[in-house]
Structure 1
Amino acid sequence: MTKKHFFALSPIMLAFSLEAQTTDSTQAQTAADAEKSIERIRIVESRIQRISSGATGLGLDSFDTPQSLSILEGETIADYNLTDINSLFKNVTGINVDSTETDRTYFNARGFDITSMHVDGAGIPFGDIFVGDLDTAMYEKVEFIRGSNGLITGLGNPSGTVNYVRKRPGNDTQASIDLTVGRWSNVRAVVDVSTPLTESGSWAARAVVVHQDKESWLDHYANNRSVFYGVVDGQLSDDVTITFGYSHQDNNSDGVTWGAIPLIYADGTQTDFSVATTTAMDWTYWDTLNKTAFAELSWYITDDLQYTSKVNHIKYEDQSELFYTYYNTGLDADTGLGMLGYPGKFTSDEDTLIWDNNLQGSFMAWGLEHTFNLGVSLADAETSDMDFGALSGFDVMPGLPGWNGTEVARPAWAPAYEAGFTDISLNRFYGAMQLAVTEAFELVVGASFVDYENEGESWGASTSTTEDGSSPYLGFTWEVMEDLNLYGSYSDIYQPQYYLNEDLQPLGSAEGRSYEMGLKKRFDNNFLVSLAVFRTEQENLYEFIEYGDGDGIDDDDYSDDFNYALYRGVTVDSNGFELEFSGKMNKEWTLQGGFTVLTMDDENGDEARTFIPRRTIKLLADYSPQWEEKLHAGISVRWQSEIYNDTAYGRITQDSYGLLGGYVRYQFNEQIALALNLENITDEQYINSVRTDQGFYGSPTNYSLTLRWDY
């Protein structure tokens, strides 16, 4: 079986290899010259061989990983103009994007919400809703590991894990500038520069700068963001390398929605507004600031043993003035009346420190090579949420549609008070081993042991909890014939939850089991086709019930019924299969995509989480014609089956729909290229989410033009 090793060659072995190929005069180099050569070799080879540790932490490639793994490379991200994570996620097999509001989004896989977002393998797996528009310009690729992920996160959520792989310096000086203009006054500029800092190349740096301003198909909505990312890596000695960097993303949105337009009338009929309709007031905004400083130390102890220590310090700030609309007796179908206003002002601060220490190695036994991975991760996250009570704005709203964003004036705000706080500690010990039983059969075994503690409060209710848990992992790959792998994996599910139940008590952990089996076939040019069958059994999964103030009384004015989001624990079983393919079909065509089929049932055998599509298709098809090497084109296809949500007023349904997009790029010369990108070419009208009884419409036909200069 062909393995993809993650260790850089030792400087001594590389020096011997180079020496064997040199002339007699080269063999007479001075000791100082030899040392200089060795110094250069370590960091240069490390950059070339840099591989993400993947789903098991063992550095296996997709073919040898006993789970479903999708990777979107930087070239694909750039070609399809996937400038933010929402647009990127929408094009990945098995991943669904649930945009419930303009600036808050859920992501799910295999029926469950994704809670683990890692950067270079480090992160804390908490939070199922993501705020803001995270830019993708600082990442060289993004990995999507579907299925239970306890080995790399410490907690066995059955959806999967997203791992963003940061751009790093290269061995040569390179630079690029991208200038984009598009519909709805979209203007974007990206500058990306990488250069060695020393003659030997032992130290190098890279910087990425982004600025974007754009409006929207939605009335009043606009967004601008600025990104800076800088990283330096180098060699401290023959065996020790270091990397340190900083990223800063400032994301500002105006005319935002808190909630969205109602999707159903009181008589049970579904609303049908124009795609531009919104309930936002023109004074609303939602601003986020993400700042991350990180450092990594790698020590090549021997040719077969490497120690890595990573530290990430993340500062997150969130400021918003929002306007929510709701109804008491429903929305009248004839007049559009029945809605009430509820303004809110909030700030949030989060400070996260993650320190991960990892020992990776390989050894020979029984005439075969085996690999292992051991680690200790210490993480702490402190948050503080401030609430400013509105002194006005709780108004009876006019009939919808027809609002212009000035129906309710910006309120005066009461002094701030701390509405909630958390202090989360997540310490874990983890390990995994790939054991080569035969040349064709390999076992992957591992476990993660977690010590979790949360001291917190939400509007006066305690969310504090302390738990210990573990997530064992067992997998195998069997190359039943050349380039055909049969694989399987099993993992426990252990996911602490910070949600409150109807008694204002912590809901407790979700627990269960996750299974996956499949086949992976590798063809010429490393074109990979995989078929996966999966099953998940989960108990005590959070399910939203209602908002309330904890007193059990429905107040006449509803002004204090939004203090708490209340949940109950439910049992959900998920079953399905995925067919996925990726790689070069031939000299002209490159394909990436797949088909997912899913069923979800609760403890009564009824359909669960029906706002998630049961069948989805994703396809990215790139064409580079041999008859014109300067021309490149691509087609994107997304299709999903019907979704629905049963509410007190009736069923809200979004019928199945498909979206077609693509790009055409012409490379005038080695430096200049021009690209046209199109989205939703057929101008399909669809609702982004039916997770609740409020939502908004997805983008109509969109287009952009990008001029790129490479040095």
Structure 2
Amino acid sequence: MTYSMQPHPARSTLASAVAAALLLLAAPAMAQQAAAPDASAIHVLQIAAGPLDAALEQLARKAGLTLTYQAGELRGLHSAGLAGSHDAETALRLLLAGSGLTAVPLGPGAFALRALPRTGDAAQGGEQKLAEITVTAGNAAVTETENSGAYAAALAGTATRFVLSPRETPQSLTVITRQQMDDQGSVTLADVLQQTPGVTVSHDDSERYNYYARGFSLNSFQYDGVPTFDFGTNSNGLGMRDMAIYDRVEVVRGANGLMSGAGSPAGAVNLVRKKPTRQFQAYAQASVGSEDRYRAETDLSGPLNADGSVRARLVAAYQDHGAHIAYYRQDKRVAYGVIEADVTPRTRLLAGLDYQKIGSQGSSFGQNPLFYSDGSRTRFDRSFNPAARWTNADSSSTRVFAAAEHLFDNGWQLRAEASHWKGDTDQRQANIISWGPYPDQTTGLATLQRGTKTYAIDSNSLDAYAAGPFQWLGHQHELVFGINASHRDSNYVAASGGNLAIDYRRWNNAAPQPSTLRVSQTQTYAFKEYAAYGAARFKPADGLSLIVGSRLNAYERTGDLVYGSGGTGRDDAKEKHKLVPYAGAVYDLNASWSAYLSHASIFEPQSVSDANARVLPSTTGASWESGLKGEFFDRKLNASVALFQIRQDNLADYVATDANERDVYRAIDGTTTRGIEAEVSGQLRPDWQIMAGATWSRPRDKDGQRIDTTRPERSAKLATSYRLPGAWRQLTVGANLNWQGRTWYATTLAGDVPARADEGSFAVAGLMARYVFNSRLSAVLNINNVFDKTYYSGYGLYGSSHYGDPRNAQLTVRASF
């Protein structure tokens, strides 16, 4: 997408009068017309030496320029800075001196950056001509976070497809950068979301995680901004994405139906892949940690020809580790390759593949039972494994993708991406039942359920859009419109191997494997979704921007359900011409602070069913959000505070698991969620990075009762690092802290025996130290759960509980080339 570096001009009198109304109603304001920037105007400039992209951003804000450039052009380039009085075009030429780039006018106050040829020497009389290479839009050049050393990103596009700064985005937005992932030792998606303010991670068993935001399931995921279907509760290891191949993770909280297809009130997660670089770079690293944890990772990137018009990147990782849980072990293989080519001066092609394979031994399905048969709570040791030693869970994921993009002379961009994804899991299970019959505390009698489960998904998707600027009433605005198409087929088969009675106190995880298997359930699904969307970002007045848009969805699901008892069922749903509107407004209060307001519709088809096996209707409703956002220290530090309210009907609320291992839900109407979020991220001062956030979210049904009591209503998270000064400058120290408020789970056992598990508020802390030996060699030590807190990292699902990891350490050594 075209990235436009644009300033925050002085406000008009009329726009200032609108500010108070914006905070309450976001009433649109008519604006005074503003003239296009005058390229001949003289500006007094004081731009410090440093990264070229930062210098250009300062110039763009000061002179009112729009700069368009290609993803890898500025990476690694530096500027000597600029001081004095210059017109915008001269200042731009001086900043680009020696960079190998030149500025080509696109219109009043608008320039595209192009690479100069590598042949011909102007100083010796050779004529400089524009090279026949890409000048494609440059959002990735300013959104990429690797090598930035920062805990904040300048821009992101997950919320609306417009590439905006966090301050310009009228929703809560968090970006977990490559630097923060490396500092905290985050190697899986669960690790990353555990560090994300406002997000709760539930570890359901050895292979599965669920994610929640604002009290609701966070189940909308994207790759490079394109919606995907490869995550889900029953996908087992398929949702355990490895972070080696990603540059950053963008998390927008609040309804995101404009880009995600379904307007879940929780938000959306965008995993942004690493891209090829124009300069060669590489690293290799190895990690060793507690519980026999070993990991190796390598990353190579660079040009494949002399002028850098063809580039490639290869990433590979291997991990083999045990756990605090007895008899559990997992190995993982990850591979990623991508190639990018500038086929014409304005056209780029990209193609890639990512692959992940996980094999686990001693894997569980549901973790430790929460209750004994008399309703009292179990007190298993953290190392207790409810699964037999011979159980296993294997999963594989393969994604192939290709994209093409073209930049037109007027700054508009056309981009299309197609992908094919195939994932499958295969499990052999033997697990102590946690949902009844419950273990007997006196005799040690428990029921071991044996069987197998397989799950396969085959998905194809297409995303295409056009985006660019346009002039209207003397102001420049932005427009984007596009289409999505997705097809997915899935097949799930569960087979029973019969139950066994065991003494859980003495069984030593030894149990015979079943001699025969009987199919107990099959689920065959076909999903089709088509959508067209459009949005406009208007600048009707100085300091005021309005984003309005909508998504038109067509959704169809067909599902065949067959039970081993001979029963059958259908899980069909169809929605035609479902409109999901979106509106947001941002007003600049001053040079640092903005006020915003947004409204989005909620629409989310459901595939869960009630006690009578009837599929629940789609969740509908609306989400409102308002708040303040600030940026400081030349956009190196972002801050925000948000108030939100969510209203929903047909909300799915988990009730229990029945005899067919089918999760039973009920639909709740008239639910209301109110809350507040606060966050700060980025650079507090040179060498000091921080990511901190606090959330209070209060979901209630129409009777005022708390919804899903196993999710905390209050949470706070902190991650920080500081590079020591002087003689200790090679050492960086850091810490992280996750705190959450009290939760509980209540149910009724057989014989109307009440049972309840309470988890009080708790905090888990970690420490980090990084030492840089030289420009090529560094080491990072992470100590997690430093105070060895015993807590549940997930509980309630299937009446089970999963302990969080005890204190552990990991040392990672990296060599860069």
Relative distance call for 1:415 and 1:280 in structure 2 (3 A) is closer
Task: Name the counterpart of 1:518.
Answer: 627
> In the TM superposition, what is the alpha-carbon distance from 1:127 to its structure 2 partner?
5.7
Q: What SS class does the counterpart of residue 500 from structure 1 fall into?
A: coil
> In the TM superposition, what is the alpha-carbon distance from 1:503 to its structure 2 partner?
2.6
The answer to whether the 8 Å contact 1:380/1:424 transfers is yes
Task: Name the counterpart of 2:712.
Answer: 613
Q: Distance in 2 between matches of 1:504 and 1:264?
A: 27
Whether 1:530 aligns to 2:640 is yes
Relative distance call for 1:321 and 1:361 in structure 2 (3 A) is same
The answer to whether the 8 Å contact 1:125/1:155 transfers is no
Aligned ranges 1:105-124 → 2 under 5 Å: 105-124=209-228
AA aligned to 1:567 is Y
Q: What SS class does the counterpart of residue 428 from structure 1 fall into?
A: strand
Q: Distance in 2 between matches of 1:417 and 1:255?
A: 23
Task: Name the counterpart of 2:786.
Answer: 681
Task: Name the counterpart of 2:527.
Answer: 424
Q: Distance in 2 between matches of 1:18 and 1:117?
A: 35
Aligned ranges 1:149-298 → 2 under 5 Å: 149-298=256-405
The answer to whether the 8 Å contact 2:405/2:416 transfers is yes
Task: Name the counterpart of 1:405.
Answer: 509
Task: Name the counterpart of 1:556.
Answer: none
Relative distance call for 1:60 and 1:265 in structure 2 (3 A) is same
Q: Distance in 2 between matches of 1:547 and 1:565?
A: 4
Equivalent in 645, 657, 668 of residue 745 of structure 2: 645
> In the TM superposition, what is the alpha-carbon distance from 1:208 to its structure 2 partner?
0.3
Aligned ranges 1:303-702 → 2 under 5 Å: 303-326=410-433, 328=436, 330-337=438-445, 339-390=446-497, 392=498, 394-398=499-503, 400-406=504-510, 408-414=511-517, 419-459=522-562, 460-468=568-576, 469-526=578-635, 527-548=637-658, 561-571=659-669, 572-627=671-726, 628-648=728-748, 649-692=754-797, 693-702=799-808
> In the TM superposition, what is the alpha-carbon distance from 1:483 to its structure 2 partner?
1.6
The answer to whether the 8 Å contact 2:523/2:561 transfers is yes
> In the TM superposition, what is the alpha-carbon distance from 1:617 to its structure 2 partner?
0.8
Whether 1:34 aligns to 2:142 is no
Instruction: Calculate the TM-score normalised by the size of structure 1.
Output: 0.93
Q: Distance in 2 between matches of 1:328 and 1:547?
A: 9
> In the TM superposition, what is the alpha-carbon distance from 1:7 to its structure 2 partner?
4.4
Q: Distance in 1 between matches of 2:126 and 2:559?
A: 64
Q: Which moved more, 1:156-165 or 1:118-127?
A: 118-127
AA aligned to 2:716 is I
Relative distance call for 1:630 and 1:344 in structure 2 (3 A) is same
Relative distance call for 1:45 and 1:357 in structure 2 (3 A) is closer
The answer to whether the 8 Å contact 1:96/1:109 transfers is yes
AA aligned to 1:165 is V
Q: Distance in 2 between matches of 1:578 and 1:7?
A: 34
Task: Name the counterpart of 1:59.
Answer: 163
Q: What SS class does the counterpart of residue 87 from structure 1 fall into?
A: helix
Task: Name the counterpart of 1:551.
Answer: none
Task: Name the counterpart of 2:12.
Answer: none
The answer to whether the 8 Å contact 1:144/1:161 transfers is yes
AA aligned to 1:483 is S
The answer to whether the 8 Å contact 2:201/2:212 transfers is yes
Whether 1:2 aligns to 2:7 is yes
Q: Distance in 2 between matches of 1:166 and 1:229?
A: 10
The answer to whether the 8 Å contact 1:273/1:401 transfers is no
Task: Name the counterpart of 2:86.
Answer: none
The answer to whether the 8 Å contact 1:625/1:632 transfers is yes
> In the TM superposition, what is the alpha-carbon distance from 1:629 to its structure 2 partner?
2.2
Query: 1:379-429 CA distances to partner (integer Å, 9 max, x unpaired)?
Result: 000111223332x4x11121x3444210x2111243769711111001000
> In the TM superposition, what is the alpha-carbon distance from 1:151 to its structure 2 partner?
1.0
Q: Distance in 1 between matches of 2:796 and 2:7?
A: 44
Query: 1:450-507 CA distances to partner (integer Å, 9 max, x unpaired)?
Result: 0000111122211111112121001100001222110011011000011122332221
The answer to whether the 8 Å contact 2:132/2:344 transfers is no
> In the TM superposition, what is the alpha-carbon distance from 1:651 to its structure 2 partner?
1.3
Q: Alignment length, in residue pairs?
A: 689
Task: Name the counterpart of 1:553.
Answer: none
Task: Name the counterpart of 2:75.
Answer: none
Structure 2 stretches of 5 or more lacking a match? 1-5, 9-56, 58-65, 71-101, 106-110, 144-154, 563-567, 749-753
Q: Distance in 2 between matches of 1:329 and 1:234?
A: 60
AA aligned to 1:197 is L
> In the TM superposition, what is the alpha-carbon distance from 1:28 to its structure 2 partner?
6.5
Q: Distance in 2 between matches of 1:451 and 1:686?
A: 43
Relative distance call for 1:413 and 1:694 in structure 2 (3 A) is same
Q: Distance in 2 between matches of 1:249 and 1:620?
A: 28
The answer to whether the 8 Å contact 1:98/1:691 transfers is no
Relative distance call for 1:15 and 1:584 in structure 2 (3 A) is closer
Q: Distance in 2 between matches of 1:28 and 1:449?
A: 58
Q: What SS class does the counterpart of residue 259 from structure 2 fall into?
A: helix
Q: Distance in 2 between matches of 1:301 and 1:18?
A: 17
> In the TM superposition, what is the alpha-carbon distance from 1:187 to its structure 2 partner?
0.7
The answer to whether the 8 Å contact 1:368/1:439 transfers is no
The answer to whether the 8 Å contact 2:653/2:708 transfers is no
Q: What SS class does the counterpart of residue 268 from structure 2 fall into?
A: strand
The answer to whether the 8 Å contact 1:114/1:128 transfers is no
Relative distance call for 1:168 and 1:6 in structure 2 (3 A) is farther
Relative distance call for 1:583 and 1:227 in structure 2 (3 A) is same
The answer to whether the 8 Å contact 2:246/2:274 transfers is yes
The answer to whether the 8 Å contact 1:530/1:579 transfers is yes
AA aligned to 2:489 is E
Structure 1 stretches of 5 or more lacking a match? 549-560
Q: What SS class does the counterpart of residue 803 from structure 2 fall into?
A: coil
The answer to whether the 8 Å contact 1:514/1:534 transfers is yes
User: How much is the aligned-residue C-alpha RMSD, in angstroms?
Assistant: 2.4
Instruction: Calculate the TM-score normalised by the size of structure 2.
Output: 0.81
> In the TM superposition, what is the alpha-carbon distance from 1:580 to its structure 2 partner?
0.2
Q: Distance in 1 between matches of 2:290 and 2:409?
A: 55
Query: 1:220-262 CA distances to partner (integer Å, 9 max, x unpaired)?
Result: 1111100000000011111110110000000111111111211
Q: Percent identity?
A: 26
Q: Distance in 2 between matches of 1:362 and 1:403?
A: 68
AA aligned to 2:655 is I
> In the TM superposition, what is the alpha-carbon distance from 1:61 to its structure 2 partner?
1.4
Q: Distance in 2 between matches of 1:362 and 1:416?
A: 57
Q: Distance in 2 between matches of 1:291 and 1:17?
A: 36
Relative distance call for 1:563 and 1:263 in structure 2 (3 A) is closer
